[in-house]
Structure 1
Amino acid sequence: MFGIDGSEFLLFAVVALVVIGPKDLPKAMRVVGRFVGKARAMSRHFRSGIDAMIREAELEEMETKWKAENERIMAQYADPVLPPPHVEAPAPPLAIEAPAVDVPAPEPELPLGAPAVETPVEAKP
């Protein structure tokens, strides 16, 4: 961290102990710790904002490339039967007439409670 090795950190701690004093050193370390924490949080927030902007720019660039590639592929492999996507297809006819078909008339229904008529069966000799 900051390129400080063990001997330099020890020298810094001894100078802080002599200058600040043993009584006020814990308070000073708390203040320094809070300041370093806030600085790290601000740095993290700034970095995440920059990363988000970079991702958005990359996505926009990829979308334009994909759109151009899609148009190239659609032009290359266009189906001759289907109209191009920018041309409107003709409207379907409003009514379709079905051919006339002879439909047999339905058998009449018996009213409720009427006895069913049985057809006589011929007995075989």
Structure 2
Amino acid sequence: MFGVDSSEFLLIAVVALVVIGPKDLPKAMRVVGYWVGKARGVSRSFRQGFDNMVREAELEEMEKRWAAENARIMAEHPASSDAEAVAAAEPVADQPQPDAPVMVEKPVVVAAPEHKPAPQPDSTPS
């Protein structure tokens, strides 16, 4: 991320050891780690908020496209007249009537052959 090479990191570690001292170095590293974690959390929260805003904008754009497409389709296919609507509502001869009994074939069940257990050898002690 920052392009810190291993030699640069070693130089930073030696300077920190000399400036802070070996006694207080672990405590200083904990404090630095704490603040780095806080910064990462803030950055993650910001990124999630930004991603949510982008998703909402894309959703709004998709809704606008859908509304435009829906309007185009409705303009191409205007509402039918009452006679066409009644004809479309009549049942078709190929389809079964809702109150007519429906014939359903029963599935054929084939019984599996019986499995006979293998004979057990006589296990009586001699």
Q: TM class by shorter-chain length?
A: 0.5 to 0.7
Bigger Rg, structure 1 or 2: 1
Give the aligned CA root-mean-square deviation in angstroms: 1.2
Q: CA deviation at 1:79?
A: 4.3
Q: How does 1:34-49 map to 2 (within 5 A)?
A: 34-49=34-49
The one-letter amino acid of 1:67's match is A
The one-letter amino acid of 2:59's match is L
- Take 2:79 and 2:32, find their aligned partners in 1: how far apart are those partners? 70
2:28 is the alignment partner of 1:5: no
- Take 1:36 and 1:19, find their aligned partners in 2: how far apart are those partners? 20
Q: CA deviation at 1:80?
A: 3.1
TM-score, with length taken from structure 2: 0.62
TM-score, with length taken from structure 1: 0.62
Give unpaired runs (5+ residues) of structure 1: 83-125
- Take 2:80 and 2:42, find their aligned partners in 1: how far apart are those partners? 59
What residue in structure 1 maps to residue 18 of structure 2? 18
Q: Point out the structure with the larger helix share.
A: 2
What residue in structure 1 maps to residue 70 of structure 2? 70
Aligned length: 82
* Amino-acid identity (%): 72
